[in-house]
Amino acid sequence: MLRRDFIVRSLLITGGLALGSRALGADADPAPVGAGNAITLPPLPYAEDALAPLISAETVRFHYGKHHQAYVDGVNRLRPGTAFAQASLTEIILKAEQGTLLDQAQQVWNHTFYWHSMRPAGGPAIPTALETQISKDFGSVDAMRKALHSAGMSVFGSGWVWLVYDQERLQIITTANADCPLRDGKAPILVCDVWEHAYYIDHRNKRATHLDAFLDQLVNWDFAAANLAAARPG
């Protein structure tokens, strides 16, 4: 599947990241919405307190309401006067040169994907097709879990740990700061945010505890399975 095709289908899965002002058409390129074509903060797929006590309402209020909103505001502040003044978020991510606008746009996308990668009372049941692919590529679900946890712990400073689909197999990768796998043509399947602001209120400096909670009790495997289905050829 072409990278562009996956992006379109992933946008559909996540409700268009709240960026499409119309249904996705043949050009598969959603336009930003809001006053003056402003990109808007996508709604959470659950209530602020729905992930508590693993991720508290206080964390969500700061992480989503302050940090995520700030990235949205950053994109809207930086776009005017550039070639991306009327561009969608995905156009910016795929075409912009390295710099602050790209960083802000990627962080909007990454955070939206992160919120959808979780659900209240998530895990441990995994849809059959996804479990089969995990076992094929990692040997077992437990081996994948250990590898993802280890990769998340290995991130120095701030970043993300991803399960992606690339070259017809699942892979675990990490990205630093705001980087997004879409830039490298990889299809995101799920992601865990390992920036400290994602877990410090609830777990202080214990990133391992944050990863345990994500992997064992919060992962939205149905979302991951839908992303895998969208990413596979055919």
Reported as a pLDDT band with limits 50, 70 and 90, residue 37 is: confident
- Average pLDDT, stretch 51-78? 97
pLDDT over 50 (residue 213): yes
- Those residues whose C-beta lies under 8 Å from the C-beta of residue 58, and which sit 6 or more positions away, are 201
pTM of the predicted model as reported, rounded to 2 decimal places: 0.87
Cα 12 to Cα 186: distance, rounded to the nearest angstrom: 17
Q: Which two tokens stand for residue 140?
A: 């077992």
SS3 219: strand
Q: What residue ranges do the domains of the chain occupy? A: 3-46+55-116, 128-231
The verdict on domain 3-46+55-116 having CATH code 1.10.287.3510 is: no
Q: What is the DSSP letter of 65?
A: I
- Those residues whose C-beta lies under 8 Å from the C-beta of residue 11, and which sit 6 or more positions away, are 17, 19, 20, 24, 30, 90
Higher pLDDT pick, 124 / 71 = 71
Q: Which of 32-41, 43-52, 94-103, 183-192 has the lowest mean pLDDT?
A: 32-41
Give the pLDDT confidence score for residue 211 in this predicted structure: 97
pLDDT over 50 (residue 23): no
Give the pLDDT confidence score for residue 22 in this predicted structure: 23
CA distances from 47 to 42, 44, 96, 123 (A): 13, 7, 33, 18
71-120 pLDDT, tens digit each: 999 999 999 999 999 999 999 999 999 999 999 999 999 999 999 999 99
- Average pLDDT, stretch 48-53? 97
**For the chain, what percent of residues have pLDDT higher than 90?**
82
**For the chain, what percent of residues have pLDDT higher than 70?**
84
pLDDT over 50 (residue 190): yes
Q: What top-level class would CATH report for the domain 128-231?
A: alpha beta
Give the pLDDT confidence score for residue 234 in this predicted structure: 66
